[in-house]
Amino acid sequence: MVLCIGNKSILTITNDPHIVKRYYFSEQIETIVLKLPPIIYTKTAGDTGEIVDNDGEDSSKSPNQMNQEKRHFVFGQLSQSEKYLAICDNFKNLIVYCTKEWKVLASFVIERKCDHVIFNEKEGKLIVSNRSGWIYGYQLVASELKDDENGETFLLGHNAIILDLKLSLDSRYLASCDRDEKIRISNYPNCYNIESYCLGHTQFVSCLAFINEQLLISGSGDGTLRVWQFTQGKELSAYSFANDISAKDEKVAPLAIHSSSINDQIIVTVTFYNSSIFVTYKFDTKSNCLEKITSTDVKHNILYSYTFNNQLVCFIDDKNNFVSCQEFKIVNEKLEILKIDFKIMETLAMDDQLVETFLNEKRTANKIEWLYKSSHDHHNEYFERKKERQETKMVKKIKSS
**What does the pLDDT read at residue 395?**
62
Kindly list the structural domains of the chain, giving each domain's residue range(s) and its CATH number in brackets, ordered by start. 36-157 (2.130.10.10)
Residues in the chain, how many? 401
Distance CA 314, CA 306 (A): 7
pTM for the full predicted model: 0.84
- pLDDT per residue as tens, the chain (401 positions): 889 988 888 899 888 778 888 888 877 666 777 777 554 444 443 343 344 333 333 334 444 444 446 788 889 999 999 999 999 988 889 999 999 888 889 999 998 889 899 999 999 999 999 988 999 999 987 656 554 466 899 999 999 999 999 999 999 999 999 999 999 999 999 999 999 999 999 999 999 999 999 999 999 999 999 999 999 999 999 999 988 987 665 688 999 999 998 888 899 999 999 999 999 999 998 899 999 999 999 999 999 999 988 889 999 999 888 888 888 887 777 888 888 877 777 788 888 888 998 999 999 999 999 999 876 545 566 667 766 776 676 666 666 66
CB 78 within 8 A of CB 5: yes
Which amino acid, one-letter code, is at 74? V
Q: Which DSSP state fits 78?
A: E
In Å, what is the CA distance from 237 to each residue of 195, 199, 201? 20, 13, 12
Distance CA 346, CA 323 (A): 8
Distance CA 323, CA 317 (A): 9
Distance CA 171, CA 188 (A): 7
CB 372 within 8 A of CB 273: no
Which amino acid, one-letter code, is at 150? N
CA nearest to 7, candidates 310, 209, 314:
310
